[in-house]
Amino acid sequence: MRLLGPKRSVTEIRATPASRLPRARSAVATLPPSGLAGLNPEWSRLVDVAESGTPGVTHGWHLLDNGPQLDALGVVPLGTILCVHGNPTWSYLWRSLLAAATDAAAAGAPAWRVIAVDQLDMGFSARTGSFRPLARRVQDLGDLTDALDLTGSVITLGHDWGGVVSLGWAVDHPELLAGVVLLNTAVHQPSAEPIPAPLRLALSRGVLGAATVATPAFLATTLALAHPPLSAAVKHGYRAPYRASARRGGIGGFVADIPVELAHASRPELDRIAAGVRALAVPALLLWGPRDPIFSDRYLDDLIERMPHARVHRFEGAGHLVAEDADYAAAALIWLGETTFERAPGDETSASAADVEAAAVQTAVAETAGVSAGTVSAGADSAGADSAGTAAAWAATGTHPLWHYLDELRDLDETALVDMQPAPRTVSWRLLSRRVRQIAAGLAYIGVRPGDRVSLLVPPSADLTAVLYACVRIGAIVVVADAGLGLTGLTRAVRGARPDFVIGAAPGLMAARALGWPGRVISTARYPAPMSRLLGVEHTLAELIRLGQARLEAGDAPAREPAPSDPAAVLFTSGSTGPAKGVVYTHGQLSAVSRALFLQYGVGVGTGLVAGFAPFALLGPALGARSVTPDMDVTAPKTLTASAVAAAVAAIDATVVFLSPAALVNVVATSEALTPADHAALAGVQRFLSAGAPISESLLAQAAALMPGATAHTPYGMTEGLLMADITLEGIRAAASGPDDSAHSAGGVCVGASTATTQIRISALDASGASVGELSEQPDVTGEIVVSAPHVKDHYDRLWLTERASRRGAVPGERWHRTGDVGHLDSAGRLWVEGRMPHVIVTPAGVITPVGPEQRIEMLTEVARAAFVGVGPLGTQQQVAVIEIVPPARRLHRAPEPLAAAVRAAVGSSVAAVLVVPGLPTDIRHNSKIDRTRLSRWATGILSGGRWVKP
Amino acid sequence: MRVLVTGASGFLGRAVAAGISAAGHEVRTFQRRPSGLPGVEDVHGSITTLADTPYAGLAYAVSGMDAVVHLAAKVSLTGDPAEFEAVNVGGTGAVLQASKDAGVSRFVYVSSPSVAHSGNSIMGSDALPASPEHARGDYARTKARAELLALAADAPGFSVVAVRPHLVWGPGDTQLVDRIVERARSGRLPLLGHGAALIDTTYVANAASAIHAALDAAKRVHGRSYVITNGEPRPVAELLAGICGAANVAAPAWRVPASAARAAGSLIEAVWRRRPRVDEPPMTRFLAEQLSTAHWFDQRRTRADLDWTPAVSLDEGFERLAAYYRTAP
């Protein structure tokens, strides 16, 4: 039986903006006209439904229902997906799900019945002539499902304000509810935050009626939000029920019903639903379009906070009409297929919140993809509350927590850190440890909680190290995005990660303010009051230290230690292969990164480390190593000089040096300025590492010559797995000159053997270039490189589909990551990288990976750099070489005959064209990874006779 | 097998007839002029006029044949539309009817990729259905109608296959190679645009072997159309340079914007239409489009279905062409 919510009266409507709307007229429900794009007329039906609480009143509903089609197929559905559109759309919004669900059932997959309603006064349902506030709409939907006599599992699916209505129904029907799916929607408007400007405008006096009812402006505006724009046929479909102003009353009614003020008549119902959602224990899926001027990420945040067990996927680039912009139907069906639904018994709502949360957490843990929600729920807190349990968990990992040496060496006066700029400054273990404790206590005091996200916009320095370890120690999640993403990429990344706090200095905070990055602001420096206000600074680091010291003196116990499974950090990918993705690491996984560094490079207690490469450099204190940040502008690694490296080495008697490839270029270029003393200092270095992007053997050799006592290393890894393989300069030379591996002609860059705790396997490519092979260590098979290690990422942040794809084909129970790189293992177990998966060329004669041909072309003396790309449809692609020559070309041209012939001789006559360009497009961060996807699009245009433009 | 080849006095027709004959089949040819081929039976006549003697006409030519390869057509960039219609559509209809009446069981219609070409770039697509509505120019339009006619005649016991070789060239070719060489020699061959459009061509021996393969495969693949190419697209400038190099003349060095060439082609076509001349116009819109947009095809289905691969590569073709020009008078 249906449970009604708290007593609600739909007649007691206080003043709402509805009074500003034109008088509504009645009309009966009708069937949509035939021929609307993508809409199968077989789906449409009309149902008369009695209005509860108003005897004798019935309303006609139009709805889409694939039930009859499933009956015709002779399949029994597992349950029903009840779809509720928002404003100003109609059931047309869900047409692709009806089609996809029916197709899936016809193909033998589990069948789902899809019922998509037109809400009353909307679409082709009746115009009731009365104003229908939220509570009434929730009851209306219940009246309809009663009339349809729905049984079995129901999954609700809602968008926009239809999301709220669907959740209202969900809260009221626990006996039927099996799951919840939401597209851009909101159930809560924090009173402290302004409502979105476009809505404020729509609601203002004199605008509401005109914008929503008298003219189709609101509808047109909504339809214009699609990315990419909707086709004329689809726009026609959306407009079909709203041609005359008399049919648009519902649009105005919906807008007027948005409870923007606390006193709004629908506010209690919204609050009731919002609270009820927190108690929903059923599986949930949130599919989000971030480019939404109304339902921004802050509403997604709110929903995640209410349903921490929900699967979340943000479709980067999609907006409010995410149902049009992205393949939500496929996502929903995938989720339905891999989720176990256990319908709660009818009286479940009376269970205590704690039980429900525990059930939610169990659901999250039980599901095989293992994606945690990225926040620490109250349930998880209680699960790991006792510190003995935490200690045992850490012991089981075989690693130390990141703060281990900060505790163990807390009374040591020896050097922990040296900052080389603005002037050399030495920080002892005693001081660093105390600072971390002070800042941790200060952060906790101002309200930073375990699981809160803290964005760090602090350049590498002692300040950054102290803040980072303080955050980590109290269980806050640090969000690290670097300037290499570019301002646009950085903004997108930080907005997507939704930090609760931002800690930074002026340039970073200025950007944060100007670009509207979320989060409460803590500044590392003290600014004059006007500047402080301008930046929105709430606290300074100095204040935090003072506050924290006071709390420590007052005897506050240190914060509970995070467990290995608690999330610790969100790092961002470079964005060289699409929008930057947030990568979540747990404490256990970050500790495993430092253990991998210890095992591979011997960095441990007492090691002196020059930290010129950020991700590894920050781990110095976690390893018990003393570290120094050389004098350089971290946003421009090219500014690092050889003298600065030598000075840093001398400052702490460093034996290990970590640099980025861009820095290495300048170090080699400025080596003539080194003094004999500098050379003496550099002679003491035992290991140096160039990490972040591939570099040439000659550059590595030149750098090695500056550090004659050192072994030169380059690691292979990615943001999702920082240290997967490693090779030394000697190893590179051996691979190049060793017995010719002619059994495998694919070529590639040898990146060495896997590191101690890493496993590397290959998922072989099929004839279409898809990596479908089972994970295997068989040598000389080209495929996608798949890695596993204790220090591989936990999951992608709010990218459930991406996460799922990155684990495809993994052995159940094991944690593997598909790197998106393509390559092979040789018989000696060394890994060779042949390119990126999307850059694989699929010709009629077979699959070709780009790096091998590029290397062979680059052997030609007149070629500086080459990119090898495919043009045309996959499977029948043509091979095209795009090259930079020596001396550089001033303009784009076809390679002259002798050069084209030389290129064909190097890689085979099947090269269709050779184009010479002044420069190849590369990534921002490393200026070395060639964007072959873009280059392929460009070459397609050039070689089809298109405009003659540079790539 | 006894095979009739129509249009065997043409460049491709001669190669087809010679190839089939060399494979041991009994070959008869049918055209207005002698084919000049040894070992084949020449029947002279026209596919558009009735026979005046019992041993000269189409009906005689098809009598006793197991298979027909129909190449005879009016191939030109301009001309009298009625003549295109009469030869390409009417003539094909007559050959089809005569073949059926004579109990022929295999019929290969030699078509052209232009039957499905609307003027846009083609990058790796397979043979699309012939479309007289969209085809450009009288030649392509009438060839499209003829292909549809031929495929419609496909029936049990009468297997029809359409093959569409793209830009056939080789030694002795007067249609394409000679014109390019002659114009380049007199400095009248410009490069359209930047000469980067990828174009696939067919060396004549490959076209001939593909047609032979279609004849062999007719029972299996009847009712379908196949594009035939070398499967080696190259920028159009490289192709022109390759042909000019083989003939030892300078490759085109001056450039005309593709859009200007298209416009000029349209204008010249209009003038030529009003004042017909015996020679070919220097440029037509169709030719300008052909030389400034990509034309290359997905050959996977062709090669798998016909169980055929081209034996002569592009580079080897250029070498054979060069050898021909070295010895040619």
DSSP string, B216-272: HHHHHHTT-EEEE--S--EEHHHHHHHHHHHTT-PPP--EE-HHHHHHHHHHHHHHH
Contact A362, A383 (CB under 8 A): no
User: Does the CB of B241 have a partner CB in chain A at under 8 Å?
Assistant: yes
Binary contact (A913, B123; C-beta < 8 A): no
Q: Domain of residue A217: give its range.
A: 17-366
Angstroms from A38 CA to nearest CA on chain B: 25
pLDDT the model gives residue A13: 40
Model confidence at A377: pLDDT above 60 = no
Rounded Cα distance, A944 and B293, in Å = 5
- The pLDDT of A842-847, averaged and rounded, is 94
Angstroms from B320 CA to nearest CA on chain A: 17
CB atoms within 10 A of CB A210: 15
Cβ-Cβ contacts under 8 Å, A905 against chain B: none
User: Does the CB of B199 have a partner CB in chain A at under 8 Å?
Assistant: no
Distances (CA, A) of A138 to A84, A93, A460, A792: 11, 19, 53, 45
Give me the CATH number covering residue A492: 3.40.50.980
Do A86 and A210 share a structural domain? yes
- The pLDDT of A641-655, averaged and rounded, is 94
Cβ-Cβ contacts under 8 Å, A877 against chain B: 124
pLDDT by residue (tens digit) across A677-735? 999 999 999 999 988 777 888 889 999 999 999 999 999 999 999 999 999 999 999 88
Model confidence at A207: pLDDT above 80 = no
Do A852 and A765 share a structural domain? no
- The pLDDT of A506-521, averaged and rounded, is 83
Do A882 and A769 share a structural domain? no
Q: How many domains does chain A have?
A: 4
- Which distant-in-sequence residues (6+ apart) come within 8 Å of B271 by Cβ? B281
Binary contact (B296, A872; C-beta < 8 A): yes
Model confidence at A20: pLDDT above 70 = no
Does residue A659 lie within any of the structural domains?
Answer: no
Do A279 and A232 share a structural domain? yes
Nearest to B196 among A878, A909, A943 (CB): A943
pLDDT by residue (tens digit) across A758-788? 999 999 999 999 999 999 999 999 999 999 9
If phi > 0 it is left, if psi is from -120 to 50 it is alpha, else beta; for residue B60 that is: alpha
Tokens of residue A782, six digits: 């080209």
pLDDT by residue (tens digit) across B87-113? 999 999 999 999 999 999 999 999 999
Cβ-Cβ contacts under 8 Å, A876 against chain B: 124, 298-300
Binary contact (A945, B293; C-beta < 8 A): yes
- Of the residues B60, B139, B203, B226, which is catalytic? B139
Q: Where are the beta strands (DSSP E) in chain B?
A: 2-6, 26-31, 41-44, 67-70, 106-110, 122-125, 159-165, 168-169, 191-192, 198-199, 202-203, 225-228, 234-235, 255-256, 295-297
Q: Is the peptide bond before A401 cis (omega within 30 degrees of 0)?
A: no
Least confident interval from A336-340, A407-411, A637-641, A881-885: A637-641
pLDDT the model gives residue A512: 82
Rounded Cα distance, A155 and A177, in Å = 6
B139 is catalytic: yes
Do A248 and A292 share a structural domain? yes
CB atoms within 10 A of CB A845: 10
Does residue A674 lie within any of the structural domains?
Answer: no
Give me the CATH number covering residue A820: 2.30.38.10
Strand pairing report for A783-788 and A759-765: antiparallel
Binary contact (B196, A945; C-beta < 8 A): yes
User: Chain A to chain B, count of Cβ pairs less than 8 Å apart?
Assistant: 77
Rounded Cα distance, A805 and B134, in Å = 43
Binary contact (A894, B124; C-beta < 8 A): no
Does residue A352 lie within any of the structural domains?
Answer: yes
Model confidence at A380: pLDDT above 50 = no
Provide the percentage of residues in chain A whose pLDDT is more than 70. 89
Q: Which residues of A touch B (CB under 8 A)?
A: 844, 871-873, 875-878, 894, 897, 900, 909-910, 912-913, 915, 940, 942-946, 948
Do A63 and A23 share a structural domain? yes
Do A299 and A175 share a structural domain? yes
Does residue A550 lie within any of the structural domains?
Answer: yes
Rounded Cα distance, A793 and A790, in Å = 8
Does residue A145 lie within any of the structural domains?
Answer: yes
Binary contact (A915, B292; C-beta < 8 A): no
Structure confidence at residue B14 as a pLDDT band (50, 70, 90): very high
Model confidence at A176: pLDDT above 60 = yes
Model confidence at A381: pLDDT above 60 = no
Do A331 and A193 share a structural domain? yes
Radius of gyration of chain B (CA): 19
CB atoms within 10 A of CB A933: 15
Nearest to B237 among A894, A909, A912 (CB): A894
Query: Nearest Cα to A442, choosing from A562, A524, A526?
Result: A524
Query: Nearest Cα to A670, choosing from A687, A685, A682?
Result: A682
pLDDT the model gives residue A379: 39
Structural domains in chain B, sorted by start: 2-166+202-229+297-311 (3.40.50.720)
Binary contact (B241, A894; C-beta < 8 A): no
The secondary structure of residue A563, as a DSSP letter, is P
Nearest to A912 among B234, B300, B313 (CB): B234
Does residue A809 lie within any of the structural domains?
Answer: yes
Note which residues in 19-38 of chain B have CB less than 8 A from chain A. none
Do A156 and A123 share a structural domain? yes
Angstroms from A946 CA to nearest CA on chain B: 8
Give me the CATH number covering residue A914: 3.30.300.30
Mutate to test the interface with B, among A943, A947, A949, A950 (most CBs of B within 10 A): A943
Binary contact (B197, A915; C-beta < 8 A): no
- The pLDDT of A937-942, averaged and rounded, is 94
Does residue A163 lie within any of the structural domains?
Answer: yes
**Complex prediction ipTM:** 0.90
Do A406 and A337 share a structural domain? no
Binary contact (A943, B292; C-beta < 8 A): no
Do A583 and A552 share a structural domain? yes
Nearest to A942 among B196, B258, B315 (CB): B196
Cβ-Cβ contacts under 8 Å, B300 against chain A: 844, 875-876
Model confidence at A575: pLDDT above 70 = no
Cβ-Cβ contacts under 8 Å, A871 against chain B: 123, 198
Of A554, A589, A624, the position where a domain reaches its end is: A589
Contact A864, B207 (CB under 8 A): no
- Which distant-in-sequence residues (6+ apart) come within 8 Å of B9 by Cβ? B29, B31, B32, B33, B34, B35, B36
Structure confidence at residue B289 as a pLDDT band (50, 70, 90): confident
Helix axes A587-601, A387-397, angle to 10 degrees: 30
Distance, C-alpha B22 to centroid of its chain: 21
Residue whose pair of structure tokens reads 């006792």 in the numeric block: A386
User: Does the CB of B317 have a partner CB in chain A at under 8 Å?
Assistant: no
Burial of B264 (0-12, 13-18, 19+ CB in 10 A): middle
Cβ-Cβ contacts under 8 Å, A873 against chain B: 123-125, 298
* Nearest residue in A to B304, CA atom: A844
- Which distant-in-sequence residues (6+ apart) come within 8 Å of B40 by Cβ? B8, B17, B18, B21, B27, B28, B29
Angstroms from A191 CA to nearest CA on chain B: 57
CB atoms within 10 A of CB A709: 12
Give me the CATH number covering residue A166: 3.40.50.1820
Do A921 and A773 share a structural domain? no
Cβ-Cβ contacts under 8 Å, A900 against chain B: 238
Model confidence at A186: pLDDT above 70 = yes
